[in-house]
A and B are shown apart, each in its own frame.
Chain A
Amino acid sequence: MIAGRRLEFRTERPTQFLDLTGQLQELVTDAGLLNGRIHLQSLHTTLGLTVNENEPLLLADFESTLERLVPTAAEYLHDDFERRQNVPADEPANGHAHNRMLLLHPSHTALVEDGRLVLGRWQSIFAVELDGPRERRLALQLEGDFAAAATSPRPAGDLVELELARQLLVDSDPVGKPMRRLVEAGGKRLRPHLVMLASRLGPAHDELRAAVLAAAVELIHAATLVHDDYVDDSAVRRGRPTVAAAEGPARAIAVGDYYFAKATRLIAELGNPEVTLTIAEAIEAVCFSQIDDFELRGRYPGDHSDYMKVVRGKTAALIAGACAAGAQLSGASETVVERMRRYGDLMGIAFQMADDLLDYSPSTGKPAGQDIRMKVVSLPLIYASEDREVGPEVRTLLDGSLADDDVRRVADLVLRSGAIGRVRDEAKDLALAAVRELEPLDLDGVRAPLEELALGAVNRNS
């Protein structure tokens, strides 16, 4: 059997290495491909593919090599618009990008065994942007033996998307339009995915009711993002202007409130008091830690205990709530509910630690140094600030206002301190602990995706 897919993403700059390994593994898992191949093909003449090691300094070497071999400033006939015919009005001078493409590949095939991409320890699959920023697409074909239940692409995920679209369709434009823009821009849908998986663990499994809960949980998450973006003064999320930036802060506050209320109503209408209470407690924990996070900025970067307090509430609480509530909706036993709650808590913390690391990887969609610039609570910064060698300079720099050079210097110091490795190891340990929570349970076909999600949470590139 063959299944076709498209992978769409936005690049931010020329000569950007985007590590696609995590997303491709997720696609393979979602499609249920057990043994076979995944074929990738770039649909552009200045976006190549390659397999190599995701190590920031090595990627900088590659960039220098491309520049040395095919200099940007050299003369290219392709850039002589007077001699070329039918040149579009917005044609960029990108002869160097097309020539660099000769050094890369337009397609790649990766093997899949037992549901996993077959890659060496240091191998990552990269898309290489030679001429960004651009909207880019890869065509994918998955070929081989698929798990019987997964022959259509994430059927449960499709149900959630339909439910989200349905809920947003009935709302008036002043609230619905900005939220549709945010929701349709994508996102990982981690929380709804967990609700749907957990909802299969009890005897009263009902996919349609689970999709309502999953969509409501995603709307709560989106509502917190709308308010967060205003608090953080962020202009862009998921490649689009934030609600606060596009509509103004007053409307952003109202939109966040509207969807917070609507989502809690949708959950109440499900008529399961345990689910309602679980999600209500999770939201309260999120709001508590948002205040902690805001107050912590006065004594930035804080310590490990501050970090755990904020992250356990701000990120992990709703993930744990999604896991527990999904199980409760299906009438799962108290043991299953509690183990799913702990799984979500551990995975949520690991997920946030991995997110912190994206700030130090030039190959992700996240602008490098953003957490440093915004003074967001971040474990690599905490560890670097405690380091005997670089700590004093990190703390001095973080005490002041940060110019671009300061942000780069802090990032360099963090990389030198060994903080990245410490955080990566800690995140992996938490993900493994999350998996161990599931071991005693009879998970009826959802063990593999739950394990995949936990382990994938620490192997992120977006």
Chain B
Amino acid sequence: MSLAAPPPKELAGIELLWEDRLSRAYDGYPAAADYRVRLAAALVEVAVDLQALGGPAAGPADLLAGDLCLARASRLLADAGDQALQISFARAVETVSGSAAAGRPVPEISGLLRQALEERS
């Protein structure tokens, strides 16, 4: 369990995911960042993993959970009001999903997200 978890309202509907893998992903992003940005990055990372982009198709339940993660991430970034990060996170998902659709090697999403965070800081 992460020591500094985001407020429970931000984990509504994804509590099990938080226990399972989301908290680990969250801890992997800079602690200095706004919790909404950290959680958004972790959600995008987990969504790409759940939806198995670049691999065999995920099942419907994982697909829908991944969609909710992407949507929550988008809303958190909108809440945080950081336009530059909204754009760079969206571009990271476009890069990964575009590669997956084309059958090309899929870049690590966490690398793209960290790069976006570094460029912002």
A249 within 8 A of B: yes
Given contacts A250-B55, A276-B86, A284-B68, contact A294 B60 (CB under 8 A): yes
Indicate if the CB atoms of B101 and A283 lie closer than 8 Å.
no
Residues of B within 8 A of A291 (CB): 13, 64-65, 68
Residues of A within 8 A of B98 (CB): 171-172, 174-175, 254, 258
How many residues of chain B are within 8 Å of chain A by beta carbon? 38
B21 within 8 A of A: no
Residues of A within 8 A of B83 (CB): 268-269, 271, 273, 276
A427 CB to nearest B CB, Å: 27
In the complex, what distance in Å separates the CA atom of A280 from the CA atom of B90? 12
Indicate if the CB atoms of A257 and B60 lie closer than 8 Å.
no
How many residues of chain A are within 8 Å of chain B by beta carbon? 40
**B70: nearest residue on chain A (CB-CB)?**
A260
Residues of B within 8 A of A250 (CB): 52, 55-57, 100
Given contacts A174-B101, A271-B83, contact A257 B64 (CB under 8 A): no
Interface of A is mostly: helix
For chain B residues 67-112, which have a beta carbon within 8 Å of chain A?
67-68, 70-72, 74-75, 77-79, 81, 83, 86-87, 90-91, 93-94, 96-98, 100-103
B75 CB to nearest A CB, Å: 4
B63 within 8 A of A: yes
| A251 in complex: contacting residue of B55, B75, B81, B101, CB < 8 Å | B101
Indicate if the CB atoms of A268 and B70 lie closer than 8 Å.
no
B1 within 8 A of A: no
For chain A residues 251-299, which have a beta carbon within 8 Å of chain B?
251-258, 260-262, 264-265, 268-269, 271, 273, 276-277, 280-281, 283-284, 286-288, 290-291, 294
Indicate if the CB atoms of B58 and A264 lie closer than 8 Å.
no
A248 within 8 A of B: yes
**B75: nearest residue on chain A (CB-CB)?**
A280
Indicate if the CB atoms of B63 and A265 lie closer than 8 Å.
no
A428 within 8 A of B: no
A227 within 8 A of B: yes
Indicate if the CB atoms of A261 and B97 lie closer than 8 Å.
yes
A230 within 8 A of B: yes
Indicate if the CB atoms of A175 and B97 lie closer than 8 Å.
yes
Pairs across A and B, CB under 8 Å, 21 listed: A175-B102, A227-B63, A231-B60, A250-B55, A254-B100, A257-B53, A257-B70, A257-B100, A258-B97, A260-B67, A265-B87, A268-B83, A268-B86, A273-B81, A276-B83, A277-B75, A281-B78, A284-B71, A287-B67, A288-B68, A290-B68
Given A227-B63, A291-B13, 9 further pairs, Cβ under 8 A: A175-B102, A252-B57, A254-B100, A258-B101, A261-B70, A261-B93, A280-B74, A280-B77, A287-B68
